[in-house]
């Protein structure tokens, strides 16, 4: 058994089987998520606190091919190099979303079609994304000599320009007409964003993971992580969000 905690006495309790698979996670609100695994220790079923059951299937390469749940399912296919090539989501037996991805010879994603609507991507010689084109819109990115993004711009908007210190941390920006400054701690974590005089503060735990975000109106958002460093809970004054994982693979969230 393992546990982790954060301010506010929020505690997540985890139970593991004899080979280290997590079989139970209990959230701070008492909700229980249970997990079962196949003979290869791959997550095969996950039951949420709402009693909704997710069933997962894999191919011979242990790639996720099907996720089934109460209202439908999602199927995933891969190309000969193991890259995701298509995903279809179903409501019952009716397909409601189809995604198809295309890659170039260097393995970079060059196009994605969502229900037939294309998005294309372009790259520089260092394999950095430089452009994105969708129907009726575009976005561009510019980098400095060490790979920091210095300019972002979307069609119809003013550019966002950024500058960095010697440690490659962003320190100033101009978001259109608005000046933005950033402050960092000794570990390189951004602790303050000052956007035109309006401040947002960030507090980190001993593992340098974001623990608390303090908005300009002083409302707080608190994050809680499990023993593997995965974010499990995000809590505001009015909502609790639980994040679902299969090992290091993100499955979704529960509100």
Q: Is the pTM of this model over 0.95?
A: no
Instruction: Tell whether the model's pLDDT for residue 240 goes beyond 50.
Output: yes
Both tokens of 206, joined, read 């001993």
Q: Using one digit for the tens of pLDDT, what is the confidence trace for 186-228? A: 999 999 999 999 999 999 999 999 999 999 999 999 998 887 8
Residues 86-137: pLDDT tens digits? Answer: 999 999 999 999 999 999 999 999 999 999 999 999 999 999 999 999 988 9
The pLDDT value recorded for residue 31 is 81
Mean pLDDT of the chain, nearest integer = 90
pLDDT at 8: 47
Domain ranges of the chain: 71-135
Can you give the pLDDT at residue 10? 62
> Which tens digits make up the pLDDT trace of 46-98?
998 888 899 999 999 999 999 999 899 999 999 999 999 999 999 999 999 99
């Amino acid at each position: 058994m393992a546990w982790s905690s954060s301010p506010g006495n929020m505690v997540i309790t985890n139970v593991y089987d004899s080979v280290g698979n997590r079989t139970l996670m209990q959230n701070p609100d008492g909700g229980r998520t249970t997990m079962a695994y196949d003979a290869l220790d791959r997550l095969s079923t996950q039951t949420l606190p709402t009693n909704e059951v997710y069933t997962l299937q894999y191919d011979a390469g242990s790639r996720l091919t099907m996720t089934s749940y109460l209202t439908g399912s999602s199927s995933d296919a891969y190309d000969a190099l193991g890259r995701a090539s298509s995903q279809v989501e179903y409501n019952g037996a009716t397909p409601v979303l189809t995604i198809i991805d295309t890659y170039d010879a260097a393995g970079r994603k060059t196009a994605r079609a969502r229900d037939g609507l294309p998005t294309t991507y372009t790259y520089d010689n260092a394999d950095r994304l430089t452009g994105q084109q969708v129907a009726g819109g575009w976005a561009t990115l510019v980098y400095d000599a060490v790979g920091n993004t210095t300019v972002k711009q979307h069609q119809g908007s003013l550019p966002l320009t950024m500058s960095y210190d010697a440690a490659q941390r962003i320190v100033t920006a101009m978001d259109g007409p608005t000046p933005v400054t950033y402050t960092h701690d000794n570990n390189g974590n951004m602790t303050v964003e000052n956007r035109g005089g309006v401040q947002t503060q960030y507090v980190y735990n001993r593992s340098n993971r974001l623990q608390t975000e303090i908005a300009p109106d002083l409302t707080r958002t608190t994050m809680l992580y499990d023993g593997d460093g995965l974010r499990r809970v995000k809590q505001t004054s009015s909502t609790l969000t639980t994040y679902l994982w299969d090992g290091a693979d993100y499955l979704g969230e529960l509100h």
